[in-house]
């Protein structure tokens, strides 16, 4: 490196934080299924929560140097995560195609899958998402060999497009400013989770947390507001009133998601008055910061699991 800035650490121990995040995200899908009380198990939601989580972390790793100038993008793990994102999105497409055809995934034929990809809007959107995630994986793999000339801005653009494409073409696209609200909701949620998760797997010293955490905390507040407002508007428009909040599966999942969000808001307020202030003054160890960040992203993952099921619930 000619700049003397530190390349983020990516030791295997740090990446263990992903285990509780993945488990809790899948648990969120199971909880939403139980709240739905009708219909089959939403298998596509399992793949979707993995895809959404991987996409958020890719976005977070690419954006993290904007919070701390001494950090650089960890291109090799970013390439691996983008590959996992691609695989998860492909799985989402297969599950969606099987649902449209009305057959189990194992019985989906190649011709039927091809028809779904080329003739239906859901398949065409999926192809665009696969292109974006594949492009990120290839670019990151090349950037790892020559990081001096690589730009994280390209990753941020492709990741943002991939994360927003499916929401902006959903049911909210039929409403005035619906696509805008859906895009804001998806990107704000991804930034909120992705940046903190990236910090948990990258930051190694007390000084790095002191430099990065206050900036993230200041950014998290407007992200939470954006997620809450856009999600509430989306849900109420979809339900058409307040009564369906407890009389329909969609409404019950939305209420559970709101409850998790309130827990996160309370946790964020507590961190601001304790962890963030002390970390900024170098009075918190890196291990404590890692533990606190792991707690928060794990709770966030529960919300992502609920949201993944909500997206495929009529």
**Which domain CATH number covers 245?**
1.20.1630
156 occurs within a structural domain: yes
Q: Are 100 and 44 in contact (CB under 8 A)?
A: no
131 occurs within a structural domain: yes
272 occurs within a structural domain: yes
The whole-number average pLDDT for the span 53-82 is 93
112 occurs within a structural domain: yes
Which pLDDT tens digit goes with each residue over 10-32?
455 668 899 999 999 999 999 99
Tally of domains in the chain: 1
pTM of the predicted structure, to 2 decimals: 0.92
CB atoms within 10 A of CB 21: 23
Most confident of 84-88, 228-232, 280-284: 84-88
Give the model's pLDDT for residue 175: 66
d(CA 93, CA 80): 20
6 occurs within a structural domain: no
* Reported confidence tier of residue 314, pLDDT bands at 50, 70, 90: low
The whole-number average pLDDT for the span 265-274 is 92
The residues facing 71 across adjacent strands are 6
Which pLDDT tens digit goes with each residue over 109-118?
999 999 999 9
Query: N- to C-terminal Cα distance for the chain?
Result: 51
Domain that includes residue 142, residue range: 12-307
Orientation angle between helical segments 206-239 and 286-311, nearest 10 degrees: 20
Give the model's pLDDT for residue 3: 40
Average pLDDT over all residues of the chain: 90
């Amino acid at each position: 490196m000619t700049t003397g800035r530190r390349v983020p650490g990516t030791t295997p121990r740090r990446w263990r934080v992903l285990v509780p995040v993945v488990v809790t995200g899948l648990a969120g899908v199971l909880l939403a299924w139980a709240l739905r009380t009708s219909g089959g198990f939403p298998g596509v939601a399992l793949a979707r929560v993995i895809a959404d989580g991987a996409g958020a972390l890719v976005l977070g790793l690419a954006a993290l140097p904007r919070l701390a100038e001494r950090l650089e993008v960890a291109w090799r793990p970013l390439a691996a995560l983008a590959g996992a994102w691609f695989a998860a999105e492909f799985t989402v497409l297969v599950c969606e195609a099987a649902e449209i055809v009305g057959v189990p995934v194992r019985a989906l034929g190649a011709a039927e899958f091809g028809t779904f990809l080329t003739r239906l809007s859901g398949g065409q959107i999926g192809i665009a998402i696969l292109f974006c995630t594949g492009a990120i994986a290839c670019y990151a793999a090349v950037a790892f060999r020559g990081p001096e000339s690589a730009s994280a801005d390209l990753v941020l653009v492709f990741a943002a497009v991939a994360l927003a494409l499916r929401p902006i073409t959903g049911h909210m696209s039929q409403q005035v400013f619906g696509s805008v609200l859906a895009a804001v909701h998806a990107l704000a949620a991804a930034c909120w989770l992705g940046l903190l998760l990236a910090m948990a797997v990258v930051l190694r010293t007390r000084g790095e947390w002191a430099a990065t955490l206050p900036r993230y905390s200041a950014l998290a507040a407007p992200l939470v507001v954006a997620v809450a407002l856009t999600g509430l508007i989306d849900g109420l428009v979809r339900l058409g009133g307040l009564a369906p909040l407890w009389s329909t599966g969609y409404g019950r999942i939305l209420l559970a998601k709101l409850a998790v969000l309130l827990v996160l808001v309370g946790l964020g307020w507590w961190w601001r008055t304790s962890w963030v202030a002390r970390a900024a003054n170098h009075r918190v160890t890196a291990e404590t910061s890692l533990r606190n960040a792991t707690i928060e992203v794990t709770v966030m993952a529960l919300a992502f699991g609920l949201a993944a099921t909500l997206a495929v619930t009529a």
